[in-house]
Structure formats: C-alpha cells, structure tokens
Amino acid sequence: MSLRAMIIGTIGAVLVLGLLWPFTGVQGQNSVVFESISAADLQQIMMHDSTVFVLDVRTAAEYTGQLGHIAGSTLIPVQELAARIGELKSDTDQEIYVICRSGNRSRTASTILINNDYKAINILGGMRAWNKQLTTN
C-alpha cells in the first residue's frame, strides 16, 4: 500500500469517526443540552406566573451590586452550586431559570443542574440583558 493510500485511508477514518461521534451516545462534559431564553422572555413568563424559580449564580457582591438582582431570586454562586445542590427544591420537574451577569456562568450552572436531574433554563445575556430590557420597556 502506498503512503498516499495510507494517508487518504487515515483521513477518511478520522472524518467518518468525527461525523458519527455525536450519534454514539458518548457524552462529555460539554454535550449537555439545555434551553436558553432571552431576558425579555423571562420577564413575560414572570408576569404570568408568580411561582417562577430564578437562580442567580453570581457572587454575593455582584448580587447586591450595581446590576442588582431579580426580586425573589435565590443566590447560589456557581462555584458553590455543586456542593449546595441539596438546598434547591426537591421537585426536579420545576423549571429553574438560571441567571448571572452576562450568560457565561449561567451556562456552567445549567450544566451542573441538568447533570443533577433538574430542568435548567439559561437566561441569555444575564443581568446585563435583564436591566437593558427593563430600560427599553
């Protein structure tokens, strides 16, 4: 077998594996799928449902800081979430709307929640988007 044929065969095998990998059922840390909605969508939901559970995963200083926080939200910083998961309601069917400053930490927190059988919904843009939405209404 020529070197060219071996290289083409290897490239072909890599491409096939790369295309089939998502269908193998093997899940890595980054393969968790969760829903994301806008801050405007969350505001609409909260206007019609007073039982919405909002989890803020910023630090305590951020929670009380300049961007403020959503009234009635629960604060558990993302770096403490895994250790404090037992503090959440035991009803894993209830949606937990997860917010941070800009949307990055809330994605991490949503992954932690999903891995612990909770239904997490990430808020795109975080408190920055929430506050921007409040000023445009």
- Residue 15 phi/psi, 5° resolution? -65, -45
Could you tell me the fold of the domain covering 29-136? Oxidized Rhodanese; domain 1 (3.40.250)
The Cβ-side half-sphere exposure at 26, using a 13 Å CA radius, reads 6
Question: What confidence score (pLDDT) does residue 26 get?
Answer: 36
Instruction: Give the pLDDT score at 137.
Output: 60
- In this predicted structure, what is the pLDDT of residue 16? 43
pTM: 0.76
Q: Determine the Cα–Cα distance for residues 4 and 116; give it in Å rounded to an integer.
A: 49
Domain ranges of the chain: 29-136
**CB-based contact 53:74 (threshold 8 Å):** yes
How much is the pLDDT for 74?
96
* CA-based nearest residue to 54, from 71, 40, 38: 71
CA distances, 79 to each of 11, 12, 55 (Å): 41, 42, 13
pLDDT tens digit at each of 137 positions of the chain: 665 555 555 554 444 444 444 433 333 445 788 899 999 999 999 999 999 999 999 999 999 999 999 999 999 999 999 999 999 987 788 999 999 999 999 999 999 999 999 999 999 999 999 999 876 66
pLDDT of residue 2: 62
Q: What is the pLDDT of residue 89?
A: 80
CA angle 115, 64, 37 (to 5 degrees): 45
All residues at 6 or more sequence positions from 136 whose CB lies less than 8 Å from its CB, including other chains: none
Handedness of CA 124, 125, 128, 134 (dihedral sign): negative
**Token pair listed for 5:** 């044929």
Joined together, the tokens standing for residue 121 give 């919904």
